[in-house]
Structures are given as C-alpha cells and as structure tokens.
Amino acid sequence: MPQPEPGALLDNASTLPDALPYEDEPTRVPLAIEDWATVVIMGLLACITFANVVVRYFTDSSFAWTEEFSVFLMILLAMVAGSAAVARDRHIRIEYFAESGSMARRKRLAQFGALMVAALFFLIAGLSIRVVWDDYRFEETSPGIGVPQWWYSIWLPICSLAIALRAMGLFVRRGRQP
C-alpha cells in the first residue's frame, strides 16, 4: 500500500494505514529529548499508580502523595507532548484551510501558525515566571503533601519556553521550504 505524503489530505479514511510512518524533519535540537522525557514520565506514572494499587489492595489505605504527583506528571506530560507536536508540525489545525491554495499560501499559513504558537508560549513563559516567583517568595506549599509549590510551577515556564523555541524552529524551517 503506498504511503501518503506527510500532511497530505486523504480523501478516503479507509486508506489510512495502521500507523503513518512519517520521517521527522531534521532539527538542531534532537527530538529525542521530548521522546525520552515522555518515556520517563509515563514510566513514573505507571510505577506510582501500580505501587498505589498494590498498597491499597493489601492495606486498604493508599499513599497520600500519589494523586498530587500523578496530576503534576500528567500536566508535565501534556507540555512535553505539546513541544514534540509543535516540533513535528503535528499540532491541531483545520486541514481545509491549511492544505488548500497555492504552495506560497500554505507556506505563509504554516509560518503564521508557528509564529502565533511561539508568541502565545513566550507570553505564557513570561507570565508564569511571576507565578513561580510568588510561589517561592510567599513559601506556598502544595495542598496534598506540603512540598514547596514552586517545585511544580517551575516547569510551566521551562516547558512553555521549550514549546515557543520549537515553534520558532518550525517557523524557520517552513521559511526555508521552496
């Protein structure tokens, strides 16, 4: 079965293969960073959840910290996956508009989309630095286990900056396309 081109609009959904084996575009910063971070986070989530289930089964009580830490890891996973999606140009878009028109129009739309993603996440990174500073300055603690809140909130500006930089890289790569 012939494989579709990356980003090609498929007319018949039944022609979709089980997995679309798209090649990743070369990037300056390896995409393996997000891939390995995803593996580590998913592994931690699985271990924490499994340990909590085993303890709850044998003792009728559970670890208090697992829910709070699992929620944090799921949010971190979403941010890391968002960075990978932006870097691979697989973020959400309306294909009717993104894949129609001339190649020059598609290129401009792709660059505009990447620029808007970068602007949004640079803004989020900048604003979230203030949140982290307030958590640190006022010695906020997490509601579940009482660790410093900034241990959790510090990852928002870091991941937002990573997404913004990945979007800028996508903007540059789309600008180089013929």
Helices (H), the chain: 32-59, 65-87, 95-98, 103-137, 150-153, 155-176
Distance between CA atoms of residues 24 and 87, nearest Å = 9
Tell me if 31 sits within 8 A of 88, measured CB to CB.
yes
Residue with the two structure tokens 């079965």: 1
Per-residue pLDDT of the chain (178 residues; tens, 9 = 90+): 455 555 554 444 444 444 455 678 888 899 999 999 999 999 999 999 999 899 989 998 878 788 899 999 999 999 999 999 999 998 888 788 788 888 989 899 999 999 999 999 999 999 999 999 999 999 999 988 899 999 999 999 999 999 999 999 999 999 988 7
Confidence (pTM)? 0.81
SS3 14: helix
Domains of the chain by residue range: 29-176
Residue with the two structure tokens 């084996």: 21
